Amino acid sequence: MKILQESLADTVTYVTKRSAVATGSPEVDQTVRDIIKNVRINGDQAIFEYEKQFDQVDLTDLRVPQANIDAAYENASTDLIEALELAKRNITSYHEKEKQRGFVDTEQPGVMRGERLTPLAAVGVYVPGGTAAYPSSILMNVLPAKIAGVKRIALVTPPQKDGLNQAVLTAAKIAGVTEVYQVGGAQAIAALAFGTKTIPRVDKITGPGNIFVATAKKQVFGQVSIDMIAGPSEIGIIADASADAENVAADLLSQAEHDKLARPMLVTTDLKFAQAVSDSVDQQLLTLPRKEIATSSVNEQGFIAIVDQIEDAFTVMNAIAPEHLEIQLENAAQYLSYVENAGSVFLGFAASEPVGDYVAGPNHILPTGGTSRFFSALGVLDFMKRTQFVTYSTAALAKEEKAITTLARTEGLEAHARAVESRFRRQK
C-alpha cells in the first residue's frame, strides 16, 4: 500500500481531495434520465426491455411468487437461517431503542404545541445483485422500517440468468417481506418512484447500488424521499504498534474486496507497523478470491498515512469522514470523543468491521464519500415523518398579537397580520 509521510496539513489536504460523493458523469446522468422517462411512459414494458438489455434476462413477470420465496427458505441451510435469525434479533433489539413517540408541551397557559411521529406508508428497498449478493442488507433496510411501523415494503433486486439469489429470498422471508420484484438498476428506482402497472409507487427508497442506482436516486429525489447517495465502501483505521498488523490488513481488505473504487485507509504513528501492515496486505491478497477487485482498490484508492501523534490521526480521519472507522488502540473507548465524522465506529482490537456488517445490530447502510459530516446511518427515524401541531386559546393569542402583526407587516404580509387581528375585531 502507498505510505504517506507528509506534514499533517499536507496529509489532510491529500485525503480531503480524495473524498467525494459518487456523482457519475454527464453520460451516466443522461442515460439514467432517459431510463426514468421511458419507465414513466411505458411502465412494465420498458422494464422488460431494460432487463433483457442490461441483465440478459428475458422476463415475463416482475413480481416474485410467494412460493419461490417460501421454497428458498425451506431449502436454505440451517447455518444460514441461524445466522440471519441472530442478525435479525440483534438488529431489532438495537433499532427498537431508536424509536421516538413525539411530545406534547403545555407549559404556556392557553397554548398546546407538540409533535407526532408517524410511519411512512410505503418504502422501496434496493438490494444489489451484481458482483455480490447482500442478504444482510435486506435485514438492515427492512427491520428498522418495520419497527417504525411501515405497512408496505417493496423489495427490488436485479434478476439473474439462473434465478434470483436464494440467500436473498431467504433473508426476505426472515425479514417478513412478501413483495419482491426482480428488477434492478435505474429502472428499478424509476418504478419505485413513479409506479408501474405491476409495481406501485413508494414514499421512500433506501439501499445501496451502483453508480446508475445512485444517480437515479438523486434524480427522483423530491418525487420520493431517499436515504442518501451512497458511493463505494470505505474503511478508515487508526492503529498503533499495540494492534496486530495481520488483523489490520485483513480489516482493510474486508472493504477493498467490495469494489475497485473502495477506499481502505490506515493512519498510524509507527512507520515499522505501517510497513508490516502493507506487507501483510500483499500476502493476504495472494489467496483472496476477489483478488483482482481488492488489489485495484488497495493500489489505486488505499493508503497508509504516518502522523506524529494519535491526536493527529483523528484530525486526518475527521477530515476523511469515513463510512467505517476502526480504532485499534489500547483503551479504544476513551478515544470515542475524538471522533467528529464517521458513519459507524468500531472500538478495540476485536471489533472488526464485518461484525457491524452482519450481526452487531447497528445499521450498515452508512454515508460514504465524506458525507458522514452531515448524514447518519440508516435508522428507524428515517422511516418516520414528524407532524407538528399547535393550539392557542383566545387569551394566549391576545398576549402575542402585537408580536405577530409586527413581524407580518415587517415582512410586507398584511393579510397575515389581519388574519390574527380578525380574531379580536368585535372587541375593538
Report, as residue numbers or ranges, the catalytic residues.
323-324
- The three cell numbers of residue 315 are 484530525
Q: Report which of 226, 191, 223, 187 is spatially closest to residue 205, judged by C-alpha positions.
A: 226
- Are 152 and 427 in contact, with CB atoms under 8 Å apart? no
Cβ contacts of 146 within 8 Å, gap of 6 or more: 153, 175, 176
The set of cell numbers assigned to 27 is 453520460
Catalogue the long-range contacts made by 98-105 (C-beta closer than 8 Å, 24 or more residues apart).
98/144, 98/147, 98/379, 98/380, 98/381, 99/147, 99/148, 99/380, 100/381, 100/384, 102/386
Give how far Cα 228 sits from Cα of 28, 68, 98, 357, Å: 18, 31, 19, 18
Closest CA to 318 of 300, 348, 345: 345
Half-sphere exposure of 266 (CA within 13 A, CB side): 35
**Helix segments in 257-351, DSSP class H:** 271-285, 291-296, 310-320
Q: d(Cα 69, Cα 85) in Å, to the nearest integer?
A: 16
Give residues with Cβ within 8 angstroms of 208, minimum separation 6: 126, 128, 134, 137, 230, 365
User: What type of residue sits at position 17?
Assistant: K
* Dihedral sign for Cα atoms in the order 82, 83, 84, 90: positive
Q: CA of 354: how far to CAs of 310, 362, 402, in Å?
A: 24, 12, 59
Q: How many angstroms separate the CA atoms of 428 and 415, rounded?
A: 18
Distance (Å, whole) CA 86 – CA 69: 20
Cell of 89: 434479533
The DSSP code sequence of 62-117 is: -BPPHHHHHHHHHHS-HHHHHHHHHHHHHHHHHHHTT----EEE--STTEEEEEEE
